[in-house]
Amino acid sequence: MTLNVTGLSAVRSGRTILHPTTLEIPPRSRIGLVGASGSGKSTLGHVLIDDLRARGYNVAHVPQSPDEALDPLRSMAFHWREAEMALGLATGSTDRVGLFRALKIEGGDMRKRPWGWSRGMQQRFVIAMALIGAPDLIVLDEPTSALDPVVAATTMDLLSVTLKDRNTAMLLITHDLGLAARRVDTLMVMDEGRLVERGRTEDILENPQTRAAKSLSAHRSWLALPC
Amino acid sequence: MLTVSNLRVKRGARVTLHDISLSLPAGKTLAVVGESGAGKSTLIAAILGLLKPSGGQIAWNGAPTRMVRPALVMQEPRAAFNPVLSLRQSIMEPVVAQNIKLTQERLQRLCAGLELPLDILDRRPGQVSIGQAQRVGILRALIASPPLILFDEPLSALDAVAQKHTARLISDLQGEEGFAALIVTHDLGYAVAHADQIAVLKAGRIEEIADSETFALNPRSEYCRTLRDAAIALGALEAVA
Amino acid sequence: MIKAVCGLLLRAFVVLSGATILTFALLWNAPGDPAQAIAMARFDALLTDEVVDQVRQEVGLDRSFWQAFWAWLGPLLTLDLGFSAVTGRPVWPDLAAAISYTFPLAFSSLAVGLAVSVPLALLATKRPGGWMDRLAVAAASLGNAIPAYWLGLILILLFSVKLAWLPALGASTPAHAILPALTLGLGVAASLTRIIRSGILEARGQPFLPAFRRRGIVEKSIGRDHVAPHAAIPVVTVLGLELAFLLEGLVLVEVIFGRPGLGTFLVQAILARDFAHVQAVVVLTALVFVAVNLAIDLTYRIVDPRIGESDA
């Protein structure tokens, strides 16, 4: 089902950091939310998650770094069990093996605590945990910026493959249009707390209209390689 | 010219750098890339003289590097400044410590080159944007006109647009000031776009050194191809058919 | 883990030997003639020089410091605490009797401290900065400032003299332990409340908690499974220090309430220059300290397994 939200906004210490925003997220869509730092894209993500959750939708969230998603004192098994219980699912009823295999972390020791795993594996564990209850939407907030490039690229590829056979829609929040370009079919550009442009990815890459979109598009990669 | 020959660093029983040899001519840029834990930061610490190598030599034109006082630009721009001092006070520290003659004109020229309004220097680190703080960090490194500046992940705290902007400012200033730059980064895109040479570090060893063009188009080792393909997959480099 | 335990045991050995040598030396070099003090304590009267010299020889005070120290240490290595030169009886039964009064008091004080401070800290952190929080912090500051001897006397005045609910002096029934335990326990509670409160507040600021809330985990589980363990880390540290505070307070409280425990035992032994008794208390205290610190270090490794990991 298509997720609709209207009039999302946020004010922090008297300043409007997110102006009223309306969004529509069709199932299985791949949406990129891009903008410079301070443009309000993370705020929009948070407000969106809270709003949808309050209305009974199942929305999962993957923060920037595994440090923001895992308790260093608790084992991976504990995190998993807790996430299952939060969704009202019986312990062990979810397809952990399948998710782990899809994300290539089946070798991880569930008895270990997060720091017993590599950071790339931790992040993929967080993604696996986010997909437990077949959510309507998964929101990824700069999911690769804390990872080494090789690990980051692998993580994004595995995520794409894992999402392929699911109904889950994806919202990728990033400052890096280059990262979003290959992963999403719709782009939404934020600037100063407003959604200033939205459209098909190719259209915005080739023909950006607003100042923010032009700047992001012009700076999306370091160099074009003829290969 | 910076020359590092057969550098070997041990931390406890573990060897963190094995037989590193590289050179960086004056005014040129060398990027050192590699994943976390490959020994990039150790290399910087060794060149700055912050740790004692267990073998090999590091020299600038034959003399120990600390004689020329290489400057360092750090990864976390705000954490690199004393939070209770104004940025101007922080910048003046090397000037006072090394007894440098700094003319108002030179300060203005550097600020203009870094696109920093002069009044920003009277603020504290917490009152400026991360991008501005990092440019002030570069200003502090430049102020004593060192022949060598080390950059430790100078862009990783910035957003994609600020990264490219800052990288261009560094390159332009390098043209004017003529310092040699050793840039440690995990962003191969940045390295390819802005460095003359790229050294890939893997588990404390140099996997490959090549000039950046060769590297981007035709890396020799399997590992370097993986790095390049990851940079393409993440959009740092664009592949045009 | 085994390596860590060995390191801790080595540290324990250094602490023990340092403590015993130091107190022996202090007592040996204290002003006045120890032989005279022992003879006075033994016969309870002023004595001639011959008697005092006889005592000096008998107790071995005519030897050098190190000879005397080794003479005491030798039997200790076979767990023999020796005989008291003053009472002429073996040390252990008297010490055991004192322990039987003191240890229950120490544990009930700690229990009172925890029983008061944990709920108080939980109430205070319900709304940080709210009136309950400010009241708890004020009460804790007041509790820290009040000395045990004053609080003890006030409690006696209130519960024994005015209300006549509880006995004040002696140790013949368990009811006799209530007032001393309260006196000590409230002091412990005062400092524990502050530590637990700030521990909870700090644990609530952990960067991963917002993500747990977005995952739909209920506040109750977050508090129990994620805030509490992080808050426990500083509390475990401070419990060791609290024990030191307790031992110090015990001496005072036992004297105030006339309890024949370790505190009274120690004060009498020092006055009589009873080397064997003083040393026995010192060894016992040091052992307790070492054991508690060992227990805390091991608890740490269980609560926060990152401690002791080389590359965490």
C197 vs C101, more confident: C197
- The whole-number average pLDDT for the span B40-47 is 92
Angle between helix C178-204 and helix C91-124 axes, rounded to 10 deg:
40
Is residue A206 included in any domain, yes or no? no
Considering the domain architecture, whether residues B210 and B232 belong to the same structural domain is answered as yes
Neighbouring chains of B at 3+ CB pairs under 8 Å are: A
Domains of chain C and any CATH numbers: 1-86+274-312 (no CATH), 100-271 (1.10.3720.10)
Q: How confident is the model at residue C87 (pLDDT cuts 50, 70, 90)?
A: confident
Confidence label for C311 from pLDDT (cuts 50, 70 and 90): very low
> How many distinct structural domains can be found in chain A?
1
Q: Which residues contact B134 (CB under 8 A, 6 or more apart)?
A: B73, B77, B154, B155, B157, B158, B166
Query: The domain containing residue A154 runs over which residues?
Result: 11-16+29-66+74-197
**Cβ neighbours, 10 Å, residue A207:** 11
Residue whose entry in the numeric block shows the structure tokens 């040598």: C21
Together in a domain, B96 and B213: no
* Mean pLDDT, rounded, for C72-83: 73
Q: Which residues contact B110 (CB under 8 A, 6 or more apart)?
A: B139, B142, B143, B173
Establish if B213 belongs to a structural domain.
yes
- The answer on B3 and B43 residing in a single domain is yes
B52 and B87 part of one domain: no
CB spacing of C214 vs A53 below 8 angstroms: yes
- How close, in Å, is residue A217 to chain C by CA atoms? 31
- 3-state secondary structure string, A171-187? EEEECCHHHHHCCCCEE
A67 touches chain B (CB under 8 A): no
Instruction: Please check whether residues B85 and B103 belong to one and the same domain.
Output: yes
What are B91-104's pLDDT values in tens digits? 988 888 888 888 88
Contacts for C214-218: CB closer than 8 Å, 24+ residues apart: C214/A46, C214/A49, C214/A50, C214/A53, C214/A61, C215/A60, C215/A61, C215/A82, C215/A83, C215/A86, C215/A129, C216/A53, C216/A86, C216/A87, C217/A82, C217/A83, C217/A85, C217/A86, C218/A86
pLDDT at C45: 67
Q: What is the pLDDT of residue C171?
A: 67
CA distance A45 to chain C (A): 11
In a domain, B241, yes or no: no
Task: Name the DSSP class of C1.
Answer: -
Residue at B214 is within a domain: yes
Neighbouring subunits of A (3+ Cβ pairs under 8 A): B, C
Q: Do residues C136 and C197 make contact, with C-beta atoms less than 8 angstroms apart?
A: yes
**Quick check: B51 and B45 in contact, CB under 8 A?**
yes
Is A53 within the bounds of a domain?
yes
Encode pLDDT of B152-182 as tens digits: 999 988 899 999 999 999 999 999 999 999 9
Phi-psi region of A40 (alpha: psi -120 to 50; beta: other; left: phi over 0): left
pLDDT of residue A140: 95
CB within 8 Å: A82 and C217: yes
- The rounded distance, in Å, linking the Cα atoms of B13 and C282 is 42
Q: Which of A100, A129, A105, A133 is nearest to A117 (CA)?
A: A105
Task: Please name the amino acid found at residue C201.
Answer: L
Asked if A90 has any chain B CB less than 8 Å from its own CB, the reply is no
Count of CA atoms in the C-beta half-sphere (13 A) of C234: 15
Residue B75 within any structural domain of the chain: no
Q: Which residue has the tokens 């407000």?
A: A47
Which percentage of chain C shows pLDDT scores above 70? 91
Residue holding tokens 């340092």? Answer: C18
ipTM: 0.86
Give yes or no for residue C310 having a pLDDT over 60.
no
Q: Within a domain: residue A220?
A: no
The encoded tokens of residue B211 equal 């000039």
Report the alpha-carbon distance of residue B35 to residue C284 in Å, rounded. 54
Residue A227 within a domain? no
Q: What is the pLDDT of residue C1?
A: 65
pLDDT digits (tens, 9 = 90+) for C258-299: 888 888 888 888 877 777 788 888 888 888 887 887 788 777
Encode B58-93: b = buried (16+ Cβ within 10 Å), e = exposed. bebeeeebeeebbbbbbbebbebbeeeebbeebbbe
Residue with tokens 């002696």: C170
- A61 vs C214, C218, C309: nearest CB: C214
CA atoms of B29 and B183, how far apart (whole Å): 7
Sheet bearing B2-11, strands edge to edge: B14-24, B2-11, B55-60, B63-64
Question: Which residues does chain A have within 8 Å of residue B185's beta carbon, measured at their own beta carbons?
Answer: none
DSSP strand pairing (B197-202 vs B205-211) = antiparallel
Residues in Cβ contact with A69 at an 8 Å cutoff, skipping those fewer than 6 apart: A62, A63, A126, A129, C208, C211
What percent of chain A has pLDDT above 70?
A: 100
DSSP string, A23-60: EEE-TT-EEEEE--TTSSHHHHHHHHHHHHHHTT--EE
Residues A38 and A31: their CA atoms lie apart, in Å, by: 20
φ/ψ (deg, to 5) at A195: -85, 110
Of A166, A167, A195, A198, which is closest to residue A185 (Cα–Cα)?
A198
**Of B94, B123, B145, which one is at a domain's C-terminal end?**
B145
Range name among B53-67, B222-236, C45-59, C228-242 with the lowest pLDDT average:
C45-59
C312 has pLDDT over 50: no
Pairwise CB contact (< 8 Å): B237 & A222: yes
Is A71 close to C211, i.e. CB distance below 8 A? Answer: no
CA-based nearest residue to C109, from C191, C198, C164, C169: C191
Q: How far apart are CA C48 and CA C56, in angstroms?
A: 13
In the structure encoding, which two tokens stand for residue B103, read together?
Answer: 């003319």
Whether A70 and C208 lie within 8 Å, measured CB to CB: yes
If asked whether residues B56 and B154 sit together in one domain, one would say: yes
Q: How many CB atoms lie within 10 A of CB C17?
A: 12
Cα separation, B132 vs B116, whole angstroms: 7
> In sequence order, which residues have a C-beta less than 8 Å from that of residue B169 and are 6 or more positions away?
B113, B114, B115, B135, B138
Beta strand segments in chain A, E: 3-12, 15-25, 30-34, 59-62, 137-141, 169-174, 186-191, 194-200, 223-225
8 Å CB contact between C240 and C188: no
* B56 and B172 together in one domain: yes
Q: Which residue has the tokens 């012009």?
A: A218
CB contact under 8 A, B160 and A177: yes
Residue A122 within a domain: yes
- Residue C307: band (very low, low, confident or very high) from pLDDT cuts 50, 70, 90: low
Mean pLDDT, range C198-226, rounded to an integer: 90
Residue C57: pLDDT over 80: no
What is d(CA C149, CA C112) in angstroms, rounded to the nearest whole number? 18
Total structural domains within chain B:
2
Let me know whether B25 and B99 are in one domain. no
Query: What pLDDT score was predicted for residue A31?
Result: 95
Residue B93 lies in a domain: yes
Asked, for residue B6, whether it belongs to a domain, the answer is: yes
Q: Are residues B7 and B61 in the same domain?
A: yes
Within a domain: residue B76? Answer: no
Among left, alpha and beta (phi > 0; psi -120 to 50; other), residue B33 is: beta
Q: What are the DSSP E strand ranges found in chain C? A: none
What gap in Å lies between CA A87 and CA C28, rounded to an integer?
71
At A137, which CATH number?
3.40.50.300
Q: What is the C-alpha separation between B12 and B10, in angstroms, rounded?
A: 6
Given a contact cutoff of 8 angstroms between Cβ atoms, the answer to whether C246 and C57 are in contact is no
How does pLDDT run across C153-203, given as a tens digit for each residue?
888 888 877 777 777 776 667 777 778 888 888 888 888 888 889 889 889
Assigned domain for B34 exists: yes
Within a 10 A sphere around the Cβ of C141, how many other Cβ atoms? 13
Measured distance CA(B142)–CA(B149) in Å, rounded: 8
Query: Which residue from A minimizes the CA distance to B235?
Result: A178
What residues of B are in contact with residue A149 (Cβ under 8 Å)? 35, 186-188, 227, 230-231, 234, 236
Same domain, B129 and B173: no
pLDDT-derived band at C83, boundaries 50, 70, 90: confident
Structural domain boundaries, residue B41: 1-70+149-236
Phi, psi torsion values for B53, nearest 5 degrees: -70, 150
CB contact A171 to C (< 8 Å): no
* Radius of gyration (C-alpha) of chain C in whole angstroms: 24
Q: Residue B241: its pLDDT value, please?
A: 66
Give the span between the Cα atoms of C97 and A15, in whole angstroms: 70
CA-CA distance, C306 to C285, in Å (whole number)?
A: 31
* B58 and B158 together in one domain: yes
User: Are B66 and B136 part of one and the same domain?
Assistant: no
Residue A164 in any domain: the answer is yes
Q: Is A38 on the interface with B (CB under 8 A)?
A: yes
In sequence order, which ranges of C146-273 are alpha helices (DSSP H)?
Answer: 148-155, 178-204, 209-214, 219-221, 228-256, 262-271
State the Cα torsion A109-A110-A115-A120 to the nearest 10°.
70
Inter-CA distances, B13 with B7, B16, B51, C1, Å? 16, 9, 15, 20
Which of B153, B215, B234 should be substituted to probe chain A, the one whose Cβ sees the most A Cβ atoms within 10 Å?
B234
- Work out whether the CA dihedral C217, C223, C228, C230 comes out positive or negative: positive
Q: Which amino acid is at A154?
A: T
Positions in chain A whose pLDDT score sits under 50: none
